Amino acid sequence: RASQSTIGAFFKKP
Amino acid sequence: MLEAKLDAASQLKKIVEAIRDMLGECNIECNETGLALQSLDKSHIVLVSLLLGSDGFSEYRCDRGVTLGLNINSLATVLRCANNDDILTLRSEDRANELILTFEDSKADRISEFNLRLMDIDQEYLAIPETEYAATVVMSAAVLQRTLRDLSALSEAVTIEIDKEGIRFSAEGDLGKGSTHFKPCVDMENAENSINITLSEPVSLSFNLQYFSNITKASSLSSTVTLQMTAGMPAQIEYKLPSGHVRYYFAPKIED
């Protein structure tokens, strides 16, 4: 099963 | 202060229509180079990045940085009062709490003015990493929109596979499955119908079709779209503007 990832898992706060 | 003029209100109307379904309230940062916006959608699945360079305006002046905290739907509501070919001017004084929009017809015998209240928005900014994507596809924006719309009848998710043979979109649901495959091609007569693929390695990723459909509302901004993917990373989907771009960073579905 695939689950939806979020952008925060890849891009961090500077 | 900010003063920015567009020869046709339709330019801004289309941009706002392309982002309004995803964004609620967000800051537009203005400085001497132009207007920029970076904002996550409410579910944090898509990051929208908009750049409108000062060269894209017929007149542009912004001596000091100005932040416009806006409700994008309110902006869309006001922009609906402008005719597509009206001359549009955006104005805001330093530290003002309003954005003034004026719409003039080309003969300048009608001038409408709207004041939009600005808000203080405490917004998170994310660092977008500089990435060499494994696959880059440039294709017709309308064809991408149509392909995804067709597959959304089958499933809520689409799988995109890119290899040297082409780009394949597929979906599977209760009623069955479907796919569309495009081979790389050059259309000399209609350049926007060409499909150009640059690849360092094959990629396959799955995405939610509802969000993808919202992204492709930007199709009216550009005849082509650039889709960039790397395994296990958000895709970058870009619609170029005469001076700038609308980019979407789209988080994939990940196998558990």
Helix, strand, coil percentages (3-state) for chain B, rounded to 5, are 20, 45, 35
Beta bridge partners, B238, equal B226, B247
Max CA pair span of chain B: 62
In the predicted model, what is the mean pLDDT of chain B?
95
Q: What is the ipTM of this complex?
A: 0.95
| Arithmetic mean of pLDDT, B100-128 | 92
d(CA B38, CA B211): 17
Q: Give tens-digit pLDDT for B162-216.
A: 999 999 999 999 999 999 999 999 999 999 999 999 999 999 999 999 999 999 9
d(CA B215, CA B152): 14
- Assign B124 a pLDDT band (cuts: 50, 70, 90): confident
Please report the pLDDT score of residue B41 as a whole number: 95
Please report the pLDDT score of residue B253 as a whole number: 97
**Is the model's pLDDT at B134 over the cut of 90?**
yes
- Assign B255 a pLDDT band (cuts: 50, 70, 90): confident
User: Which of B208, B234, B255 is opposite residue A7, by nearest beta carbon?
Assistant: B234
| Arithmetic mean of pLDDT, B226-247 | 97
What's the half-sphere exposure (Cβ side, CA atoms, 13 Å) at B56?
20
**Is the model's pLDDT at B221 over the cut of 80?**
yes
**Is the model's pLDDT at B109 over the cut of 80?**
yes
| Arithmetic mean of pLDDT, B108-123 | 93
**Chain A residues with a Cβ under 8 Å from any Cβ in chain B:** 1-14
The angle that helices B72-79 and B9-19 make with each other, rounded to 10 degrees, is: 140
- Assign B55 a pLDDT band (cuts: 50, 70, 90): very high
Q: Which positions in chain B touch A9 (Cβ < 8 Å)?
A: 251
- Assign B51 a pLDDT band (cuts: 50, 70, 90): very high
| Arithmetic mean of pLDDT, B34-62 | 96
d(CA B118, CA B98): 5
Please report the pLDDT score of residue B96 as a whole number: 81
Q: Which positions in chain A touch B124 (Cβ < 8 Å)?
A: 13
What's the half-sphere exposure (Cβ side, CA atoms, 13 Å) at B156?
6
| Arithmetic mean of pLDDT, A1-14 | 90
Handedness of CA B79, B82, B83, B84 (dihedral sign): negative
Contact B99, B116 (CB under 8 A): yes
Q: Give tens-digit pLDDT for B82-102.
A: 999 999 999 998 888 999 999
* B251 to A3: CB separation less than 8 angstroms, yes or no: no
Mutation choice for B interface testing from A3, A7, A13 by most B CBs within 10 A: A7
Q: Give tens-digit pLDDT for B154-173.
A: 999 999 999 999 999 999 99
Mutation choice for A interface testing from B23, B130, B131, B254 by most A CBs within 10 A: B254
Please report the pLDDT score of residue B123 as a whole number: 85
Calculate how close chain B gets to A9, using CA atoms only, in Å: 9
Q: Does B159 touch chain A (CB under 8 A)?
A: no
Q: Which positions in chain A touch B125 (Cβ < 8 Å)?
A: 13-14
**Is the model's pLDDT at B240 over the cut of 80?**
yes
Calculate how close chain A gets to B45, using CA atoms only, in Å: 5
| Arithmetic mean of pLDDT, B219-248 | 97
For residue B125, give the amino acid letter: Y
**Is the model's pLDDT at A1 over the cut of 80?**
no
H helices present in B66-184, as ranges: 72-79, 141-151
Spatial neighbors of B71 by CB under 8 A, at least 6 apart, are B24, B25, B119
Chain-centre distance of CA B224, in angstroms?
12
H helices present in chain B, as ranges: 9-19, 72-79, 141-151, 209-215
